[in-house]
Amino acid sequence: MPVADAESSTPPDLERKLATILSADVAAYSRLMAEDEELTLRTFRGHKEVFEKLVELHRGRVFNTAGDAILAEFGSAVEAVRCATEIQAALRTRNDQLPEDRQVRFRIGVNLGDVMVQGQDLLGDGVNVAARLQGAAEPGGICIAGSVYDQIRNKLSLAFTPLGERNYKNIPHAVRTFAIAGADGIGELPAPARQRRIGRRQLRLIAAAALLLIASGAAIWGYSDYRRRAAESAHAAAAAAQRDAAEQARRQAAAEASKAAQQQAEADRAALAARQQADLAAEKQAAEEARRQADAEKRAAEAAQQQAEAERKRIEDESRRLAEANRKKAAGAQLAAITPDSSRGSAALSVPGAGGNATGVYGGPICFGPGAIEGPRCFRAQAVLHGNALSGQWPARVPGATMHLAGNVTPSGDVVIHMHADRPDGSHYAVIDMVGTLRDGKIDAAGSFRNGRSVTLNWHRN
């Protein structure tokens, strides 16, 4: 990742602080993306999620990401290094499930230094050195600055490989560098080979040997120099041609792989569109079938309702017809029961308390109680008692209709009265049944219409 040059001065609006910076990126990321973009991106996202969770667990903060690079800060060098080792252990477990050439391995560098705060971002040499240390680490490995090593060497159970004083690009001073070679519970970590220090005496011996070799080889150097240079030129040309061919083949393979991936994506989208279209057609067909079935059920329900209504009307008509026939039959039987038998003659009825012969004309008010469509009303009427039979008639309120009264008086003075009105067509209406007594020349009776409306009769003998 690009590294900014160190700031020569601090603007007044920037804050400085001491922080431990962890810098990480993916080794061979360009090659992985060129060979299989989608698989590389899915693997990287999974690794990054594990990375960020471990940073948060060790009380760190990711403050910048760019492509495959991740920058995090920690308040403690111990927590930063512990987090780095756990990240590499966790990602190694995930990478073990992938082929060797598809493994996404991070390189991590850790530095303790002064940084500048700009919003949520951090800038300065402290960040740049961490990025350079990351570049020095092996894939899956960790490099730390001497400032970090001094803070953690007696606090964590780690194995270190000293890499000596190293000069890094755009860093004005050499950086004491260490690689973490292993940790308890994690095992070994990949680390660069240790640089050996050469003393002054060894340098003198090497220089003397070199002079001796130069002196002894000076005689043959001139002869072989031409041939060596020619061979080197041929070898370099062959190597360059081979590299060019390999690069061209790699690019062609990457282009073909990308084209194949695009074709597969297009095929997947076309298949998905076809499935969606088929599902939509099936849903429309099912909806249409459901609508037709609902219409058929509705029509069947309406037909059944009409049939039920016709059957109900037929039953009601039949019930009314039978009820009317039964009513007429009952009225005829009752009238026959209270009509005097001509074989008995016209002997006078002797009723206790009636003063001897009770035969005569009786009249007075008949009162109807309140009805559904009219209030209470009374009118005057009369009937003739002949023997034990009481009979009478008078015009009804309906034009052309006649009200008939027929009754029967027992020797003990009990009275049963039946009244009904006849229309001109012979049909009955206003049917009334009453019971009462005949005492001292007075008939008192009470009853009701068939619909329950009350009726009273209070007559005196004229």
356 vs 325, higher pLDDT: 325
318-327, 392-401, 421-430 — which is least confidently predicted?
A: 318-327
Are 380 and 365 a contacting pair, CB within 8 Å? yes
Question: Can you give the pLDDT at residue 235?
Answer: 62
Whether the predicted pLDDT of 5 surpasses 50: no
* List of E strands, 290-388: 360-368, 377-386
Question: Can you give the pLDDT at residue 196?
Answer: 47
Whether the predicted pLDDT of 459 surpasses 90: yes
Are 75 and 59 a contacting pair, CB within 8 Å? yes
Question: Can you give the pLDDT at residue 223?
Answer: 46
Written in H, E and C, the secondary structure of 79-106 is: HHHHHHHHHHHHHHHHHCCCCHHHCCCE
List, for residues 44-100, the tens digit of each pLDDT value.
999 999 999 999 999 999 999 999 999 999 999 999 999 999 999 999 999 999 999
| For range 410-432, the mean pLDDT | 94
- Domains of the chain, by residue range, sit at 15-188, 198-301, 347-461
Whether the predicted pLDDT of 305 surpasses 70: yes
| For range 295-318, the mean pLDDT | 81
102-111, 136-145, 208-217, 276-285 — which is least confidently predicted?
A: 208-217
List, for residues 330-342, the tens digit of each pLDDT value.
555 554 554 444 4
94 vs 308, higher pLDDT: 94
Whether the predicted pLDDT of 316 surpasses 90: no
149 vs 8, higher pLDDT: 149
170 vs 232, higher pLDDT: 170
Q: Would you tell me the crossing angle of helices 77-95 and 37-57 to the nearest 10 degrees?
A: 150
| For range 218-222, the mean pLDDT | 42
15-188 CATH choice from 3.40.50.1220, 3.30.70.1230, 3.40.190.10, 3.90.25.10: 3.30.70.1230
107-111, 242-246, 384-388 — which is least confidently predicted?
A: 242-246
Structure tokens at 332: 């005829």
- Cα–Cα distance between 40 and 140 in angstroms, integer? 16
| For range 237-264, the mean pLDDT | 76
Whether the predicted pLDDT of 355 surpasses 80: no
Quick one: pLDDT band at residue 329, thresholds 50, 70, 90? confident
Whether the predicted pLDDT of 431 surpasses 70: yes
Whether the predicted pLDDT of 440 surpasses 80: yes
Quick one: pLDDT band at residue 433, thresholds 50, 70, 90? very high
Of all residues in the chain, the percent with pLDDT exceeding 90 is 58
Q: For residue 238, what are the contacts with CB-CB under 8 A and spacing of at least 6?
A: none
Q: Which amino acid is it at 45?
A: R
Cα separations in angstroms, 77 against 84, 123, 166, 183: 11, 18, 21, 16
Of all residues in the chain, the percent with pLDDT exceeding 70 is 79
Fold of 347-461: Lipocalin (2.40.128)
